[in-house]
Amino acid sequence: MLNSIAGRVEQYLDVLAARQKLTASNIANADTPGYKTKDVDFAAAFAQAEGTGDIPAVEVSGLSLKPDGNNVSLDRESRNLAESALRFNIATQFLQNQSRMAKVALQEIR
């Protein structure tokens, strides 16, 4: 059971890493005319990560367009970076706690 939980958390971390890459790409293209913001659909990406490991990017709709057709908001991307970092820290802390509990349980068995 612990391995399956750890595996799922690792998949979640992969999805977060993919989101960080997309966010970095969005920021890099903030001044590219016609560039559309991309993000990760967490539910779809998590399901996809179970299979092939490829995490699809989706174009974000509903964002304000600049006159050049670009819709990247640096404020939104900064929030995404902070949110992903927080989620990553929580997930890695969870894995560390699970590892500690397993170690204690094994010591109790001996």
pTM of the predicted protein model = 0.79
pLDDT of residue 49: 61
SS3 57: strand
- Banded model confidence at residue 67, pLDDT cuts 50, 70, 90: very high
The encoded tokens of residue 30 equal 């903030």
27 class by beta-carbon count within 10 Å (0-12 exposed, 13-18 middle, 19+ buried): middle
pLDDT of 28 strictly over 80: yes
pLDDT per position as a tens digit, 85-96: 999 999 999 999
pLDDT of 110 strictly over 90: no
- Virtual torsion, Cα 91, 96, 101, 107, nearest 10 deg: 160
pLDDT of residue 50: 66
- H/E element holding 59? strand 57-59
d(CA 13, CA 6): 10
